[in-house]
A and B are shown apart, each in its own frame.
Chain A
Amino acid sequence: MTATTSHSDERLKKVSTMTALLRRPELGAVAGLVLVSIFFFFTANPAMFTLAGIMNFMAPAAQLGILATGAALLMIGGEFDLSIGSMVAFAGLVFGTALVVWHVPLSVAILVAVAFAVFIGVTNAQITIRTGLPSFIVTLAFLFILRGLTLVGLKWASGGSTQLRGMKEAVAGSPLAPFFSGDAFSGLFSWLASKGIIDAFPSGAPKVPGIPVEILWFIAIALLATWVLLRTRFGNWIFAAGGDPRAARKSAVPVARVKTTLFVITALCATLVAILTVLDAGSTDARRGFQKEFEAIIAAVIGGCLLTGGYGSAIGAFFGSIVFGMVLIGLTYTSIDQDWYLVFLGGMLLVAVIFNNVIRKRVTGER
């Protein structure tokens, strides 16, 4: 360091709006979304950008996005959770078993699933914190443990099969069901269709019956997470715990508590996705949530999260997930082979990581 204060002033004055913009962690995800939108605007069937088309790609984006929001918060807090995908399957098993084997009401089934999620989240966190091992390894173990438990549990619950059915019937008539399945605002959409504002079938029913509830959950969770991260004391603790746990501890930040809470939040996000998708499909199976942990982490990284923690954005993960949904579904609107999706996934991850690295150097003024 040779710079004196009087000199560094002049040099720092050069900070332009461009650099200020680059300081936003979600910039990469927004840029990615714009690029992907432009790409499909020119290559895809125009049906992709109708209301029905948008709902089509927002639904998988929402499922992934709920996971990615939890993963992003945890990554900013300095830890990974590779067990998210298996947690979706495990939570699906617990939730499904409660509904169709124990025949409890939906509210109780949700509570049971939540209780299991809290337990798994705390277990992941405590092992990671107490042993000081990388969470990468600890949760990798749980990736297999939970997937295996799901298989064993499904066979036990269904009497030998790896699928458990009958959830739709089990929750029929439950007052809580509309919050976790089906479409919201169907009255509004019918009215809009009757006025000719949105597309309708010849029968008069709207082509899009409403907004799938998972999309509303996705938006609500992304907004809540962003608010917590940027505007609350807990949010400051998340950044601190991930940025430098030792320094945070010295400043009286309860690092272990913060990390434990984040692991629990991640497990709860997986459980929510399990409940939403199980009720949507009416069944659960052992492959539910397969490889979702990687997609969620990739979405968080596209959203600007650093692998080293301490930096990132929840709203970035929101946009990152939409990019995913758009490419996954968008390719079906084009003449391009759908399997390019995986190539895209890897490519996007690589670009995002390199981009984030550059951004970090700018933010910290490293040379």
Chain B
Amino acid sequence: MATSQTPLIEVKDIVKHFGSVIALNGVSMSVNANEVLCLLGDNGAGKSTLINTLAGVHKPTSGQFLVEGQPRLFSGPRDALDAGIATVYQDLAMIPLMSVTRNFFMGREPVVGFGPFKRMDMEHADNITRDEMHRIGIDVRDPQQAVGTLSGGERQCVAIARAVYFGAKVLILDEPTSALGVAQTSMVLKYIGQVRNKGLGVIFITHNVRHAYAVGDRFTVLNRGKTLGTYRKDQIGIDELQNLMAGGKELQSLSEELGGTI
């Protein structure tokens, strides 16, 4: 375990209240470069609140938030992006009617020319998009084709590639595999591995233990707004992880009733 290096992001005892609702009640976690940290938790565990806090959408009520060892307080998502923390949300922030290129560069369009003649460098944008897609094994024949023509897995990969291209150091993936079929899931998981090997830190949020176990290096389990613990892959088995996430015995007995199929 990388005790010697400074984590890219580290939070300690983060608490977040929304009025009288306690969404996070003391969460601690960290992610290093070259690492996939899986954030596991059932519905309502506080996963979404945690990633929104990391992404700068929410401000924590209390607790420490360190970016590369320095305490930071983000005033908005833009701040987090500037610090190299990119979030790929479940809905991907992709627009089906727009071309792959237009989506890839949305909000960060390359421009050439001066004054009133400033225009989008479409050719350059097309080339980069084609190259980046090629790198992840998606053959985009025409980067001007609409994103709607891509499969769900391809769209997910485009969204991740976009974040990586624009210099993310930490990538937060919000349930990237939840709506995908088997083949598409493995495509996305493979790509998550590639991103890690590039030296990024990946926070992979999921409630699917199998997907998490396939690419994860460490696992942080959330339950009812608290961290239940963080485990390295060699410290915990897939079944144990499953039980921990579901809050223990209840599911175990249910699972036995169902013949171990979940």
Binding site for B on A (CB under 8 A): 1-5, 8-9, 12, 15, 23, 227, 231-233, 235-237, 239-240, 243-244, 246-248, 250-253, 306, 310-311, 360, 363-366
A250 to B95: give the CA distance in the assembly, Å. 12
Do A236 and B102 have beta carbons less than 8 Å apart?
yes
A145 to B120: give the CA distance in the assembly, Å. 39
Do A231 and B119 have beta carbons less than 8 Å apart?
yes
Top 4 nearest A-B pairs (CB, nearest first) are: A364-B148, A243-B95, A251-B107, A365-B149
Q: Which residues of B contact A243 (CB under 8 A)?
A: 95-98
Query: Which of B86-94, B202-210, B235-243 forms contacts with chain A?
Result: B86-94
Binding site for A on B (CB under 8 A): 77-78, 81, 89, 91-98, 102, 105-109, 111, 118-120, 122, 137-139, 141, 146, 148-154, 180-181, 183-184, 187
Do B92 and A4 have beta carbons less than 8 Å apart?
no
Q: Quick one: closest B residue to A360, CB to CB?
A: B97
A5 to B148: give the CA distance in the assembly, Å. 14
Known A247-B91, A253-B107; contact A310-B97, beta-carbon cutoff 8 A: yes
Q: Which residues of B contact A236 (CB under 8 A)?
A: 102, 105-106, 109, 120
A51 to B118: give the CA distance in the assembly, Å. 37
Given A233-B111, A247-B106, A363-B149, list of 18 further CB < 8 A pairs?
A: A1-B184, A3-B151, A4-B184, A5-B154, A5-B183, A8-B151, A236-B106, A239-B98, A240-B95, A243-B97, A247-B93, A247-B94, A247-B95, A252-B81, A310-B97, A360-B97, A364-B96, A366-B148
Known A310-B98, A360-B97; contact A5-B119, beta-carbon cutoff 8 A: no
Contact of B183 among A4, A310, A364, A365 (CB under 8 A): A4
Q: Which residues of B contact A244 (CB under 8 A)?
A: 95
A227 to B105: give the CA distance in the assembly, Å. 18
Q: Quick one: closest B residue to A233, CB to CB?
A: B109
Q: Which residues of B contact A250 (CB under 8 A)?
A: 77, 89, 93
B80, chain A: closest CB distance, angstroms: 12
Known A5-B187, A233-B120, A239-B95; contact A252-B107, beta-carbon cutoff 8 A: yes
A1 to B105: give the CA distance in the assembly, Å. 26
A241, chain B: closest CB distance, angstroms: 10
Known A239-B95, A311-B97; contact A232-B151, beta-carbon cutoff 8 A: no
Do B93 and A251 have beta carbons less than 8 Å apart?
yes
Q: Which residues of A contact B106 (CB under 8 A)?
A: 236, 240, 247-248, 251, 253
A-B contact pairs, 28 of them (CB 8 A): A1-B152, A2-B181, A5-B153, A5-B183, A5-B187, A231-B122, A232-B119, A233-B109, A235-B120, A236-B106, A236-B120, A239-B97, A240-B95, A240-B107, A243-B97, A244-B95, A247-B91, A247-B92, A248-B93, A250-B77, A250-B89, A252-B81, A252-B108, A311-B97, A364-B97, A364-B146, A365-B149, A366-B148
A23 to B91: give the CA distance in the assembly, Å. 25
Q: Quick one: closest A residue to B182, CB to CB?
A: A4
Contact of B149 among A235, A251, A252, A364 (CB under 8 A): A364
Q: Quick one: closest B residue to A228, CB to CB?
A: B119
Contact of A9 among B94, B95, B96, B139 (CB under 8 A): B139
Known A231-B122, A235-B120, A252-B108; contact A5-B93, beta-carbon cutoff 8 A: no
B170, chain A: closest CB distance, angstroms: 17
A366 to B187: give the CA distance in the assembly, Å. 22
